[in-house]
Structure 1
Amino acid sequence: MGSMGNVRIQSRRMVRPEPTASRLPEPETTIHLTPWDLKHITVEHIQKGVLLPKPPTTGGHVDVERLASSFARALGRFYPYAGRLAVSVAPHSQSLTISLRCSGEGAEFIQAVAPGVTVADVTASLVVPRVVWSFFPLDTLLGADAAAGTRPVLAAQVTELADGVFIALTMNHGVADGTTFWHFFNTWSELSRAGDDVMISTPLPVFDRSFLGSSCAVPIPLPFGKLEDVVGQRVHVFPPVQECFLHFSAASVKELKAKANAEVSSSGTDSTISSLQALLAHLWRAVCRARQLTPEQETAYIVLVGFRGRVGGIPASYAGNAVGNVTAKSTAGDIVGKGLGWAAWLLNRAVASWDEASTRDKLASWPQEPSFTSLPAFVAAVPTGTFTGSSPRFDVYGNDFGWGAPVAVRSGSGNKVDGKVTVYAGRGGGGSMALEVCLAPEALARLVADEEFMNATSTVE
């Protein structure tokens, strides 16, 4: 893979938001971060991107100015993301607040080339080549690092390959979750596709935090004397991982779901397993085998739960973090030995255990005892754990920038630790899915050699 050559940066610029008819310029305001935002200030940025064919009508060359222009118009709709994180230290007290200052300073836009990399280099191998990480800006930074300097909270990189184009977006996790990330991506691609027409179908984002009510007043004073105390001890070198990208056809997902539900039904349990729960259960069992866990070892699976549509008052197009997690636990012996239905039922029960009242209680109590997400701490505490982010509901393959739909989706190096799994809709649609799985190299080698697991996968990108 080293023969692919390097990614060369050709230009960098700060793109300022361009006002649209639907969202006029705003005076400088401040958005105060919620507990759900602040919890993610200690993790690396969200990094996702799409691989596209070369534009056929322009001799294969990408109209970078067109992409920069539509990026500016997308920023006009997501005006706060052209701002900067600001830290305010309270005088004579050991506390600080972190807010998003809507200053309109801009987001970074990078143009790059990788003439030695082809579309096949990215898509043909089961194991994701490390060069893909070079397609993403703001690498290895935590969300809090933007507050420590003058870094943007959003950056884009357009990399021209030998026979394709990779369009990547990096967004600070302290100001947005996956839903908001893809909302921006969808807005950008539709504006690029539509040209100058500002009447697009993607809705405007909603930054209003009034759903918090009086139970969680913002800004939230954090009991720390300086920002670095919030971050805590940094882990500069993670244990090595490899990642693979696996495809599951609609038929395969349907078969896993039917098998899981049949097993659950035969046990007399009244639960309906979803397609995603069946697929993740299939993976959980295989990861236990790949890690060669002993039967008595405890293993945990953490699944993200989105709050839009679950917590009253949160708009569907709310821009910010609105996500939590639930955990399923068992011994490795039971996960492997009791069948697909058992593992899927544990995931199903974990999701069903979520309730709005306790979520609002945690939201209200968080300022008194703030806690922050730390993936290194998670891996150290639960080395046998697996956790899944993202959602098959996100519109990934609809991101046509004006010359064709994506042929693949990949992510950057952010938050790549042992046990991290990202789920996407499959390129084929219709209920197909894809999983990006990060494991220790020796475990990953065993996973992709596991016939029971791999028989459910497809080779089609």
Structure 2
Amino acid sequence: MNQETITAVRQISKCSIKPHKVSEESKQPHYLTPWDLSFFNAQYIQKGLLFRKPLPSPEDPNPTITFIDRLKQSLSIALTHYYPLAGLMVTKKQDNPPFYGIYIDCSNDSVGAEFIHAAVDINMLDILTPIDVPRIVQSFFALEGAICHDGHTEPLLVVQVTELLDSIFVGCTFSHVLGDGTSYWKFFHAFAEISKKLRKAGKEAGDRHFDCSISCPPITKRWFTEGNGDPFLINLPFSQHTEFIERYKQPLLRERMFHFTAESLAKLKAKANEECATKHAQISSFQALSALVWRSITRARHFPPDRKTGCKFAINDRLRLNPPLSENYFGNCVQTVCGITTVGELLEHGNGWAAMLLHEAVKEHTDEKIRGLREEWMKKPRIYQMGPFFDPASVMMGSSPRFDVYGCDFGLGMAVAARSGFANKFDGKVTSYRGLTGIGSVMLEVCLPPESMSALESDEEFMDAVSPHEIHCQHILHMFD
């Protein structure tokens, strides 16, 4: 289907979903940590999954409506565990003595997450077969252009379920102030787990005998620096939000998915370690892949040799702390590490050299460094400004293939595809997903200006490592026949 002829997404209904139960803990203020507060200018996390539509049966002639009703019930139960997502952002300020703090209030009866039911007259193949991700996918998510600070007036979570002619897309718009990618997918898993449990039990959420427990309950207590273990409201060095709020304007970008098989990644890893002459395999598959992406995109940009370039990683700090934080810690516990060099040096050397830069950057991100950065922030609090953060000469590797995206089972079977919305897209943003075609495969979502994307598609070294789009689509469709 030609992209210009695609019918617009139409909204069928919208409602507010409140937690199924309210605990004493959820009535307390939810204080934000330095990691959380840094994300006020970031846009919401937007990720979702495409599923085949359930088929009608004599017992259930309208299974899609049944599924959507069950999702509303499931969301209510999920919010009992992830209650901050049903809250509202509040600013507390005073002049004498000066104080400016922001926290999440979950006690107001009027708060809740938003649930949208939408529809569009296209098929699953209209999403999967085009070379570029169709623009219509961005309409599968809510709050276009919103930044996290907008949580003062906008919901902190919006679930949008979009009916296609033959499939269903479940997408979440999730405040980055409340959690990182690990927190997002933990929530999504819990949401799916409850939905599947409800389907199996055949009960309404209001049934007092229904087991509302989940396998991995979130740890919502905030983690602060050692010596300040109890949560508290941080005093920010501002008197009004205009002093730190910035709205990033997205340039014209193409967005394309590239698939790498486990075999392709194994070759990249072996070659990178061979080039570095490492006695033991030190460079991971993902570091080798990131090095390839970094060098290939840099070639495509045609910058002068003396231009600085970097490859940034979003890195989970939970297990790097000593003692480590649980993977079930709900909040932001992520920072970026970066390999930096010049365009000339990067392109003069091979992938192994670039991968070793990344490997060393990751290796140096220790408990001591993490705590040092936290203490530094507490002395001089700062909010990320997205413009400078999105360096057009660098690459940002976001998300992680470690997230069990396709393990989210709502009772419709495994998802056919994972996609993201319009949020946090910029020149050089690369989002990684676990691949669908076997253990060890990886899918990358690459965002570049049209001329840079065309150059990347002509890069022999890069495309030799990529599984051809048509073959990948055929493989996916064969899996679900």
Q: TM-score range by the shorter chain?
A: over 0.9
**Is the Cα–Cα contact under 8 Å of residues 186 and 202 in structure 1 kept in the other structure?**
no
Match 2:10 to one of 8, 11, 19: 8
Match of 1:167 among 170, 173, 180: 170
Per-residue CA deviations over 1:72-93 (Å, capped at 9, x if unaligned) read: 1111111121111111012335
The structure 2 residue matched to 1:132, chosen from 126, 137, 148, is 137
CA contact (8 A) 2:33 2:224 kept: no
CA distance in 2, matches of 1:226, 1:99: 15
Report how far residue 428 of structure 1 moved: 2.1
Q: Which residue of 2 aligns with 1:453?
A: 462
Q: Does 1:436 align with 2:439?
A: no
Partners of 1:393 and 1:145 lie apart in 2 by 30
Quickly say closer, same or farther: Cα 1:202–1:242, change in 2 above 3 A. farther
**Matching residue of 2:205:** none
Q: Say whether the 8 Å CA contact 2:44–2:148 is kept in structure 1.
A: yes
In structure 1, the residue matched to 2:190 is: 187
Map of 2:112 onto structure 1:
106
TM-score of the superposed pair, with normalisation by structure 2: 0.89
Match for residue 204 of structure 2?
none
SS at match of 2:64: coil
Measure how far apart 1:210 and its partner are. Answer: 4.8
Superposed counterparts of 1:258-337, under 5 Å: 258-265=270-277, 272-311=282-321, 312-337=323-348
1:262–1:200 distance in 2 versus 1, CA, 3 Å: farther
Match of 1:250 in 2: 262
- Aligned partner of 2:252 in structure 1 is 240
Can you list the C-alpha shifts for 1:48-90, whole angstroms capped at 9, x where unaligned? 0001111124566342101111111111111121111111012
Quick one: which amino acid aligns to residue 34 of structure 2?
P
* Map 1:20-419 → 2, pairs under 5 A: 26=25, 28-57=27-56, 61-62=64-65, 63-103=67-107, 105-115=111-121, 117-147=122-152, 149=153, 151-195=154-198, 196=201, 198=211, 202-210=215-223, 212-215=225-228, 218-231=232-245, 233-235=246-248, 237-265=249-277, 272-311=282-321, 312-379=323-390, 382-419=391-428
Instruction: Compute the displacement of 1:398 (Å).
Output: 1.2
Distance 2:211 2:300 in 1: 50
SS in 1 for 2:303: coil
Amino acid at match of 1:7: V
Could you give the per-residue CA deviations for residues 305-342 of structure 1, whole angstroms, max 9, x where no partner exists?
11111112522200000011111011222222311111
Which secondary structure state, in structure 1, belongs to the residue aligned with residue 191 of structure 2? Answer: helix
State the SS of the aligned residue for 1:204.
Answer: coil
Change in 2 beyond 3 A, CA 1:94/1:26: closer
* Structure 2: distance between partners of 1:396 and 1:443: 29
Determine if contact 1:376/1:417 at 8 Å carries over to the other structure: no
Task: State the secondary structure of the residue aligned to 2:427.
Answer: coil
Structure 2 residue identity aligned to 1:83: G
One-letter amino acid matched to 1:202: S
How far has the Cα of 1:186 moved from its partner?
A: 0.5
Shift of 1:118: 1.5
C-alpha displacement of 1:24: 5.0
Measure, in 1, the Cα distance between the counterparts of 2:26 and 2:335. 32
In 2: Cα distance, 1:350 partner to 1:271 partner = 17
* Cα RMSD after superposing both structures: 1.9
**1:32 and 1:108 mapped to 2: Cα distance?**
22
Q: Which runs of 5+ in 2 are unaligned?
A: 202-209, 477-481
Deviation at 1:366, TM superposition (A): 1.2
Instruction: Give the direction of change, closer, same or farther, for the CA distance of 1:269–1:337 in structure 2 (3 Å limit).
Output: farther
TM-score between the two structures when normalised by the length of structure 1: 0.93
Alpha-carbon distance in structure 2 between the residues aligned to 1:322 and 1:420: 20
Within 2, Cα distance between the matches of 1:40 and 1:124?
A: 34
1:219-272 CA deviation, whole Å, 9 max, x = no partner?
1111111122221x434x32211111111111111111111111111xx68761
Looking at structure 1, the residues matched to 223 and 330 of structure 2 have their Cα atoms a distance apart, in angstroms, of: 13
Looking at structure 1, the residues matched to 266 and 451 of structure 2 have their Cα atoms a distance apart, in angstroms, of 30
Q: Is the 8 A contact 2:41 2:247 kept in 1?
A: no
- Paired letter, 1:251: E
> What is the rounded CA distance, in whole Å, between the counterparts of 1:254 and 1:92 in structure 2?
61
Report how many aligned residue pairs link the two structures: 449
**Aligned equivalents of 1:200, 1:395: Cα separation in 2:** 20
- Displacement of 1:215: 4.3
Superposition deviation, residue 135 in structure 1: 0.3
Question: Residues 27 and 135 of structure 1: is their aligned pair in 2 closer, same or farther, counting only changes over 3 Å?
Answer: closer
Deviation at 1:201, TM superposition (A): 5.8
Counting aligned pairs with the same residue, the percent is: 38
SS at match of 2:192: helix
The residue type paired with residue 47 of structure 1 is Q
- Partners of 2:178 and 2:220 lie apart in 1 by 10
Quote how far apart the aligned CAs of 1:296 are: 2.8
State the partner residue of 2:479: none
91-100 vs 416-425, greater mean Cα deviation: 91-100
